[in-house]
Chains A and B, each alone.
Chain A
Amino acid sequence: MDVINLEPTEDTPKVILDKNRQVFEISGRSLPEDAAEFYQPILEWLEEYENQVNPETKFMFKLEYFNTASSKLILDILSKLEEIEGASVIWYFHEDDEDMEEAGEEFSDLVDIPFDFKTY
């Protein structure tokens, strides 16, 4: 499977989706003008991955900021993960960032996937 490896920019996060190395990561800032367009390839990748999943998929979110449009797309990613057997989420938040912790709790409440919360 192809690897998605996007470098972070001022308004988009770093993204690594690598089945062989078992790295699934979105980190940094997500405030693109068109969130649906930015996340479309990621959703497509997950659809393809769904047919050839690893025994375990630990998806890491380590976000500093995201806008509300991105929150909808993050929920879409989580919805896809819901359909993937063995998927779990590691939700990182800065120890001083209760809003990001709460956002993770909110997401975990909306989808049926195990969430592991970690601070940095």
Chain B
Amino acid sequence: MKYIYDLHKVMLKQSLLLVYEGEFSQEITKAVLAMAERNMDSFGEQRKVKTKVFNVMVELLQNIFKHSQSYQEEIYGKNNAIFSLAKTDDYYFVLSGNPLFTSEVESLKNRLDAINLLDAAGLKEERRRIMKSNKSNIGKKGLSDKGGAGLGFLDMAKKSGNKIHFDFEQINDQLSFFSLRMTIDRNIESKSEK
């Protein structure tokens, strides 16, 4: 049973507030969000930071269950992935990892690299461009077949105010493991506290 103690130590060492490993769904998303929120409330995190963390978490969690591929479903269940929230004195880290088809790696990497080249104004402009092109397609038509608006990563980059950290590991012939880390500063100035 020592692994429980080891796991406990890893979580403390990496400042992990919560870790969820398993199947992802909207129900799980809601539960994870509620836990994170309660956790941040418990030490009185400022509203502004909390809102940013929450926003990034929502996009990340919904991305996972819309895009994660099932991997050894009989062992891990459907859309198996890992999600974690970590907190240090200065930052929150929103972390995720999920399997996806290796054939999708290159386009995803290019997309994330392109987003990372943009500054705040560039992110805003790109967002506007996508929204404008969606405008004439009312309802479902303007969304992908998975119900996304194509804005998730842009929005995460914009709200977090930091670059997207990511990498890919090969799992087998078909699948790769996509790891992502978003960083949110805890020490952003709050208007009402000025």
Q: A67-B58, A96-B48 are in contact. Are A106 and B147 (CB under 8 A)?
A: no
Interface class of chain B by DSSP: helix
Cβ–Cβ contact B192 & A72, under 8 A: no
Q: A39-B139, A72-B151, A95-B192 are in contact. List 15 more A-B contacts (CB 8 A).
A: A33-B147, A34-B147, A43-B138, A65-B58, A68-B59, A69-B62, A75-B134, A96-B48, A96-B190, A99-B51, A99-B159, A102-B124, A106-B128, A110-B131, A110-B135
How many chain A residues touch B (Cβ–Cβ < 8 Å)?
Answer: 34
Interface flags, B7-42, vs A, CB<8A=1, else 0 = 000000000000000000010011001100000000
Question: Can you show 24 pairs from A to B with CB atoms below 8 A apart?
Answer: A10-B33, A31-B62, A33-B147, A39-B139, A65-B51, A65-B55, A67-B58, A68-B150, A69-B143, A69-B149, A75-B131, A75-B134, A75-B135, A76-B138, A76-B142, A80-B138, A97-B47, A98-B48, A99-B51, A99-B52, A106-B127, A106-B131, A109-B128, A110-B131
Cβ–Cβ contact A95 & B191, under 8 A: yes
